Structure 1
């Protein structure tokens, strides 16, 4: 196996919250324990969702928790040419097609029915670009490092959007192209992205790109039973190191790493040094129904 290369890739739609910390911390520990590279990519491919200053706040939050990245920060907003080239390759292979359909038109269907696969239904309307999930690699199989063997048929998930009608690039294409160009071979992220992996595997196969290993983490839930998220107004992480100390200790506890209670108020560098040396992802309980909560 080549040298470990991981990354944390937040969307700057707002500051990081505790759920973001758990994902970033697991990714960081996995890379540092392997003496590997841990990069930071800001996924600002959707400018309307990215308020000014949010990305800078994320950088300050990561630094407060001692999660220092390797190399320069990568920005998706600077990657338009790479995404366009990938889409052109998919179109040339008959694996991507323009689509004029709106969600309102197919709202009675569980997934998009593929009405534009053989030609755009309404050529005069704005068009997105979709992946032909029925023609690519299927079924998709991989071994998740926590949840074990996974098998999906992407055609049962539908033809995912690669480029939106407003001309903005969609997550699935951007993440695959970026991971390949940045040499990412280990992906640690939340289990809410587990069912995104089949499309990403299809795209990797279609574009002849390497396939990273994946470790999907249990999600952090709020007291209301909902996943912690910016949309649910989860509280922002602090930007000062002293305030970060107890939260870092809590995140290590939720990741089943059993940090000593005596380290709860220790400087983040000391907590991380202890955690890196003892990082053991196998301690995570591999229960797809398990959710991490502040009450755990």
Structure 2
């Protein structure tokens, strides 16, 4: 099987050194294995993604000397595919409409903590969505949906895991002295959102569908997405999608030890290029 790698940035800001590390790693690994290198534009969020940032992504990557297959896949052009995946999960009874806003969840968390109760949080520290909302009266939920109330579609994590039965979820993590199978525990994330009222699909749903449709065999991405992998493995299993191999590479940080951000123009590829740096300089900066 021909190895297939991909770099999948979101056009919601300028690329920085951390993006360069991920893009170059994928590009070089594809070349070293006689594989394919794909570029995917994850522009599923219409509120933040802009065409000028997409154009700059192409410019920056070409300046780095990277080449990719055409055509480039844009998530905004494939919303129906993600909707079909959600429809399949709905047909399995594994998702439900969630109407609480972030402010309402925040208020419930504050009230619980004032009573001295601990509120469960996901690996990123975000409070989990209250599980009692799974049991919203079906007639009331249908009425609210018909009325156009803002909502998300969330995965009922307990039902999803029950659907798997005794099957063990894991993934193959490479890049170490020896590949290692990592146990996957998606329950840590609670009832993850799969579809938003203000943006079609979510990252979790769209990324697993795209990887499967594009035949991606090796997902090479930053360590910050390591703990998202259990959710992706669960969705792959529920949707009968193939399982790629994973490599979560080191993250680049600023002087304070914080992960690089698109807001840090000092590490932006465009700014560095304008300052006279070369692609070879970039490779040295990121340790390649």
TM-score normalized by the length of structure 2? 0.81
Structure with the bigger percentage of helix: 2
- The answer to whether 1:35 aligns with 2:59 is no
Partner of 1:76: 75
**Alpha-carbon spacing, 1:202–1:27, altered in 2? closer, same or farther (3 Å):** same
Which residue of the other structure, out of 136, 147, 152, is the alignment partner of 1:128? 152
- The answer to whether 1:248 aligns with 2:276 is no
The 5-angstrom pairing of residues 7-86 of structure 1 reads 7-86=6-85
- Cα displacement string for residues 133-163 of structure 1 (whole angstroms, at most 9, x for unaligned residues): 2223475312211363322321122111111
Q: Distance in 1 between matches of 2:34 and 2:137?
A: 50
- The answer to whether 1:176 aligns with 2:219 is no
Count of aligned pairs between the two proteins: 252
**Structure 1: gaps (5+ residues):** 256-296
TM-score normalized by the length of structure 1? 0.79
Q: Distance in 1 between matches of 2:256 and 2:231?
A: 31
Q: Distance in 2 between matches of 1:234 and 1:209?
A: 40
**Alpha-carbon spacing, 1:114–1:191, altered in 2? closer, same or farther (3 Å):** same
Q: Distance in 1 between matches of 2:172 and 2:6?
A: 19
SS of corresponding position for 2:268: coil
- How many Å apart are 1:234 and its aligned residue? 5.1
Task: Please report the RMSD computed on the Cα atoms of aligned residues, expressed in angstroms.
Answer: 2.1
Contact 1:128/1:161 (8 A) holds in 2 = yes
**Structure 2: gaps (5+ residues):** 110-118, 122-127
- The answer to whether 1:211 aligns with 2:243 is yes
Q: Distance in 1 between matches of 2:204 and 2:173?
A: 19
